[in-house]
C-alpha cells in the first residue's frame, strides 16, 4: 500500500448488512472530477484486473467486478468496509489513497446499485448515450464469474442493468446520431484543418478507438492519404486491407511524423509513446491523443509547430445530436426505474426467503408429528386427506408471513427475528 488511509470514507451506518458478505459498495473515479492524468494513475490493465480479483478472493471478499475505461475506473463488490476495495485499487495501480480521496466517490447498497444502473445505461458516460460501457461491464462480470467472484446478487444485478441498457437502446433515441470520442476527433479535425481531404494523416495505434477513428476519417473526410502504424504490423495490415490504406513500420514513425499534418495517437501503453524527441518538424502538426493514460508527452507542446489536443477536450464537443439525446433522459430514467424496481423487489424478498423456507420446514415437521400421532390414535384416520389439508394450511400461513414481510411499513429485520424466536428456527437456516 502506498498510504494508510483507513480514516477515509468512514462508514458510520449502524444498519445491519443485508447479506453475510458485508455491504455492497461501488468505489471509483471518473471524468467528472478526475482529469486524464489522474485517471491514468488508476487505469487497470486486463492482467491487473485478474490479479485484483484473485487477491480479493484470497482476502475473503465474496464478490467483485472491476471496470476500467478511458473515462472511469470502478470496483463493485461486497466488503465489510469500502476501504478494503480502495486498498485493492491503490495497491494495483499508480494511484495513492490521498489522490483517490480528492476525486473519488463511494456508494453503498441501494445508492451503489443505482449508480451501476446509471453507468451501465450510458447516462453517466462522458458522451451521453455512449453504450460502450455496457460491453465493458459484461466482460467484467464474466471475468469475475470465471474466477468465482460473482455472487447471486451481483449476477442478478448485472443482468438487470444489461436488460435496462437494451431497453433504453431499443425504446429511446438516446444513442441515435454519430457521437463518440472517435467521431468527436474527426469533427474536430474537419472543423480546424482546412482542405482536410488533401492532408497527410497518420494514425498510430489500431485498438478499438483507433479502428473507429479510422472508419470515421474515411467516411467523413474523403481523405485517401491516411497512413497506419502499429507496433504489431500484421494487425495494421488487416485494417488497411479493408480500406486500401498505407501501412508503415513502427521503426519509420519519426520520418512519418515529419511528413504528416495530423497525428492521431490511439495506443494503449502505460507510458507516453510520443515525445518531443521524435519531432523534427518543418510545418504545423496537430496531435490528437485519444489514449488513457495519456500516450503523448506534454513536452511535445514545447515545439512551436505542435497543437496538442487530448480526448477530454474532444469529449466536450456538443451538437444537435447531444441536445436530442438530452431530451431522451426522462424516458431512459423511467425504464431504469421499472427494471430497478423489479430488482429491488427480488433483492428485498431474498433477505427473508431463507426464513420463510425454514418456517415452512418447521411447520412441515409439526405436521408430520401430528399426523403420526393421529394415525396411532384413530383407526379410521384419513391420512391422505390430512396431508392435503395440512399442506394447504402451511401454504396459507407462510404466504401470510411473506406478504407481511413485503409490507413497506414493516421492519423486515425485526419481523424476521420475531418469527425465528416464536418458531425456534436455528441460525443455520439463515
Catalytic residues: 70
Cα first-last separation, the chain: 36
Radius of gyration of the chain (CA): 29
Dihedral sign from CA coordinates of 213, 215, 219, 223: positive
Helix (H, G, I), strand (E, B) or coil at 100: helix
Q: How far is CA 410 from CA 94, 197, 226, 401, 407, in A?
A: 47, 68, 66, 11, 5
C-alpha 191/C-alpha 20 separation (Å) is 56
At residue 15, what are phi and psi to the nearest 5 degrees?
-65, 140
Q: 204, 211, 255: which is closest to 231 by C-alpha?
A: 204
Sheet with 105-108, strands from edge to edge, namely 64-68, 72-79, 23-30, 105-108
CB 142 within 8 A of CB 52: no
Cell of 16: 445491519
Residues paired with residue 262 on neighbouring β-strands, in sequence order = 201, 286
C-alpha 75/C-alpha 64 separation (Å) is 7
Report residue 257 CA to chain centroid gap. 36
Cell of 66: 472491476
CB 295 within 8 A of CB 272: yes
Q: For residue 46, with 0-12 CB atoms within 10 Å meaning exposed, 13-18 middle and 19 or more buried, which class applies?
A: exposed
The packing angle between helices 208-221 and 233-243, to 10°, is: 30
C-alpha 44/C-alpha 47 separation (Å) is 8
CB 104 within 8 A of CB 29: yes
Is the bond leading into 293 cis (omega within 30 degrees of zero)?
yes
Per DSSP, the residues of 126-139 read SSTT-THHHHHHHH
CB 109 within 8 A of CB 340: no
Residues paired with residue 252 on neighbouring β-strands, in sequence order = none
Torsion of CA 366, 370, 375, 377, to 10 degrees: 160
Amino acid at each position: 500500500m502506498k498510504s494508510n488511509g483507513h480514516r477515509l470514507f468512514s462508514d458510520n451506518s449502524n444498519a445491519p448488512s443485508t447479506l453475510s458478505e458485508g455491504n455492497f459498495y461501488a468505489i471509483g473515479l471518473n471524468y467528472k472530477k478526475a482529469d486524464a492524468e489522474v485517471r491514468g494513475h488508476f487505469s487497470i490493465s486486463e492482467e491487473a484486473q485478474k490479479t485484483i480479483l484473485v487477491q480479493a478472493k484470497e482476502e475473503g471478499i465474496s464478490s467483485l467486478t472491476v471496470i476500467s475505461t478511458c473515462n472511469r475506473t470502478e470496483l463493485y463488490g461486497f466488503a465489510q468496509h469500502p476501504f478494503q476495495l480502495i486498498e485493492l485499487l491503490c495497491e494495483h495501480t499508480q494511484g495513492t489513497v490521498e489522490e483517490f480521496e480528492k476525486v473519488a466517490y463511494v456508494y453503498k447498497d441501494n445508492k451503489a446499485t443505482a449508480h451501476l444502473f446509471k453507468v451501465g445505461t450510458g447516462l453517466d458516460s462522458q458522451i451521453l448515450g455512449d453504450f460502450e460501457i455496457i460491453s465493458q461491464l459484461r466482460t467484467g462480470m464474466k471475468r469475475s464469474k470465471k474466477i468465482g467472484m460473482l455472487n447471486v446478487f451481483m449476477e442478478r444485478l448485472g443482468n438487470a442493468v444489461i436488460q435496462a441498457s437494451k431497453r433504453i437502446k431499443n425504446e429511446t433515441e438516446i444513442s441515435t446520431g454519430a457521437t463518440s470520442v472517435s467521431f468527436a476527433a474527426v469533427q474536430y479535425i474537419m472543423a480546424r484543418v482546412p482542405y482536410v481531404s488533401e492532408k497527410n494523416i497518420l494514425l498510430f495505434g489500431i485498438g478499438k478507438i483507433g479502428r473507429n477513428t479510422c472508419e470515421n476519417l474515411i467516411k467523413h473526410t474523403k481523405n485517401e492519404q491516411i497512413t497506419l502504424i502499429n507496433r504489431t504490423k500484421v494487425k495494421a495490415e488487416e485494417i488497411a486491407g479493408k480500406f486500401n490504406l498505407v501501412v508503415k513500420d513502427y521503426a519509420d514513425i519519426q520520418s512519418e511524423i515529419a511528413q504528416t499534418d495530423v497525428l492521431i495517437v490511439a495506443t494503449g501503453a502505460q507510458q507516453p509513446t510520443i515525445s518531443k524527441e521524435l519531432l523534427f518538424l518543418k510545418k504545423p502538426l496537430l496531435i490528437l491523443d485519444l489514449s488513457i493514460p495519456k500516450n503523448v508527452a506534454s513536452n511535445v507542446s514545447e515545439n512551436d509547430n505542435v497543437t496538442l489536443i487530448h480526448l477530454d477536450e474532444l469529449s466536450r464537443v456538443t451538437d444537435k445530436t447531444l441536445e436530442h439525446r438530452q431530451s431522451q433522459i426522462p424516458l431512459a430514467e423511467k425504464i431504469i426505474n421499472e427494471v430497478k424496481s423489479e430488482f429491488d423487489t427480488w433483492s428485498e424478498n431474498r433477505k427473508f426467503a431463507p426464513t420463510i423456507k425454514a418456517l415452512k420446514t418447521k411447520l412441515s415437521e409439526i405436521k408430520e408429528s401430528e399426523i403420526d400421532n393421529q394415525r396411532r390414535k384413530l383407526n379410521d384416520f384419513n391420512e391422505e386427506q390430512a396431508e392435503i389439508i395440512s399442506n394447504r394450511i402451511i401454504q396459507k400461513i407462510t404466504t401470510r408471513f411473506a406478504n407481511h414481510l413485503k409490507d413497506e411499513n414493516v421492519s423486515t429485520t425485526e419481523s424476521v427475528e420475531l418469527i425465528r424466536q416464536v418458531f425456534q428456527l436455528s441460525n443455520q437456516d439463515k
